[in-house]
Amino acid sequence: MYAILDIETTGGKYNEEGITEIAIYRFDGERIVDQFSSLINPERRIQPFVVNLTGINAEMLRNAPKFYEVAKRIIEITNDAILVAHNAKFDNRILTTEFDRLGYAYEKDTLCTVELAKKLIPDLPSYSLGKLVRSLGIPLSDRHRAQGDAKATVALFKMLLAKDSSKEIVQKLVRKDPKRQLEPRLLDIIENAPSETGVYYMHREDGSVIYIGKSNNIKKRLVQHFTNDSKKSKKIQLEVTAVTYERTGNDLIAQLKESQEIKKNKPIFNRALRRTFFSYQLTSFTDEDGYINLKVEKASSKKDAIITFSNYQQAKSLMYKITEEFQLCQKLTGLYKTKSGCFLYSIKECMGACLNEEDPETYNERVKTFLQKNSYENKHMLIIDRGREVDERSVILIENGKYKGYGFYNLNFQVNNIEILKTIINPVEHDRDSQHIIQNYLRKNKVLNIVKLPEEAAI
């Protein structure tokens, strides 16, 4: 659990400042589960420059509660939580100082979104909260007021969690949060899991990730893990002490995240999934008569694949569909081995490319139409689909035919502005598995929208 906060102060000498306003959002990694905000009477003078900056003056605070009157609520909402703030050392110092004045030892582990952003989104011109969230397309209202700044920090932290593919943040949470050090009562873990689409991470007591999986219903999938009698499942049941998760809103991003993060984190119980997702691929070549042939063969990194397949039967089924849809020749798509006319020619559904009766240029135009529709080579596009919330959308970026990353957005200008899109996208290393996952998914499922980008707009 995280307590994401922002504090406004009176200014003044070091360790003599007083709190004028505080806002805290209790955040479980996915949603805000509790919140508290209040003006505070600091019982001391506010520096004039602070009044100009925040708009908070002495008159506004005359009837506000004093710190000791809200201290219990602050303790409750931050209980068993890591403090998260933009410049966390400052906010933590101010809180600790106020509690010291009350004779109460207030000690918390902290995470700083300035430091996290510098690590996960490097080379930005500024990491001040206002400029940073603006560059990321995150709305910020009431700048330099605790509630507005804290709410923007929640959105920023949520984005940073998504970008943290090595899971350093959640590993720290598992190590530090005593409530996550569960006894082997696996029902407790299941109870806290969402019945939603996403990726889940199983942790040992030290926070290390031992298994990564994805599901359209995480809770249901965990039930299967924890009731399975297989050798691997029993080992997982003995070692797991916590499960964290990331909702993805749709199965495509869940598949991509699972594939990428298994390769990056190499969990000990994911050995079988580290290998490639596909075993066959479709390639093309031009024969001596000038006809473009399509050929299904075993997957090889030495050749560029037009389409990849999980198995030969899947490849064969799709080739029949392609041949029919684009009026191709079964001989030239590898479905009918013959030295004469193909089967479709015998029933007058092939125009005779198998016997050189159809002009190669005419035949090749139909093949090129298929290639243009199904090959990602040199394509720039955005795949838009459902997000994690009702008002959110997901975006996947394809550039030069390669998967560049994914992100989430709420406002259309975020995805239409290239500079902001750069910061929204969680960059990934393209690999053939990702291409296979995307192509395979789009063949079988509809997405909300596919936006073709002009070449000059490529990131």
Domain spans in the chain, listed from the N-terminal domain onward: 2-163, 169-274, 280-374, 381-457
Residue 408's beta-bridge partner residues? 394
Question: In the predicted model, is pLDDT for residue 192 greater than 70?
Answer: yes
Average pLDDT, the chain: 85
Please count the residues of the chain: 459
Residue 383's beta-bridge partner residues? 396, 450
Least trusted range by pLDDT, from 30-44, 231-245, 337-351, 416-430: 416-430
Closest CA to 246 of 109, 385, 394, 381: 394
Q: Give the integer Cα–Cα distance in Å for 303 and 311.
A: 18
Task: Place 244 in a pLDDT band, splitting at 50, 70 and 90.
Answer: very high
Tokens of 209: 């990730």
Q: Give the integer Cα–Cα distance in Å for 224 and 203.
A: 17
Q: Give the pLDDT confidence score for residue 376 in this predicted structure.
A: 65
Closest CA to 329 of 300, 372, 289, 281: 289
Question: In the predicted model, is pLDDT for residue 212 greater than 90?
Answer: yes
Average pLDDT, integer, range 372-395? 83
The 10s digit of each residue's pLDDT in 262-314 is 888 889 888 755 455 677 888 889 999 999 999 898 887 777 777 888 788 88
Percentage of residues in the chain with pLDDT exceeding 70? 93
Is 122 exposed, middle or buried (CB count within 10 Å of its CB: 0-12, 13-18, 19+)? exposed
Q: Give the pLDDT confidence score for residue 275 in this predicted structure.
A: 53
Task: Place 183 in a pLDDT band, splitting at 50, 70 and 90.
Answer: very low
Average pLDDT, integer, range 379-400? 88
How far, in whole angstroms, is CA 222 from its chain's centroid?
A: 20
Helix axes 432-444 and 251-265, enclosed angle (nearest 10): 160
Q: Give the pLDDT confidence score for residue 407 in this predicted structure.
A: 92
The 10s digit of each residue's pLDDT in 87-107 is 888 898 889 888 888 888 888
Q: Give the integer Cα–Cα distance in Å for 266 and 264.
A: 6
Find out whether 146 and 180 touch, Cβ atoms under 8 Å.
no
Q: Give the integer Cα–Cα distance in Å for 160 and 150.
A: 15
Task: Place 179 in a pLDDT band, splitting at 50, 70 and 90.
Answer: very low
What dihedral do alpha carbons 375, 380, 385, 391 form, nearest 10°? Answer: 180
The 10s digit of each residue's pLDDT in 7-24 is 999 888 877 888 999 999
**Beta-sheet strand order (sheet of 198-203):** 209-215, 198-203, 242-247
Phi/psi for 94 (5° steps) reads -60, -45
Name the DSSP class of 243. E
Closest CA to 131 of 161, 111, 156: 156
pTM over 0.85? The answer is no
Q: Which amino acid is at 394?
A: S
- Other Cβ atoms less than 10 A from the Cβ of 272: the count is 7
Q: Which CATH superfamily is domain 169-274 in?
A: GIY-YIG endonuclease (3.40.1440.10)
Question: Sign of torsion, CA 16 22 26 130?
Answer: negative
Task: Place 75 in a pLDDT band, splitting at 50, 70 and 90.
Answer: very high
Provide CB contacts within 8 A for 429, sequence distance 6+.
260
Within 135-184, strands assigned E span none
- Among the CATH numbers 3.40.50.1000, 3.30.420.10, 2.60.40.10, 2.20.25.90, which is that of 2-163? 3.30.420.10
The 10s digit of each residue's pLDDT in 135-162 is 888 888 877 888 889 999 998 998 888 8
Average pLDDT, integer, range 221-245? 86
For residues 226 and 167, which has the higher predicted lDDT (pLDDT)?
A: 226
Q: Give the pLDDT confidence score for residue 264 in this predicted structure.
A: 85
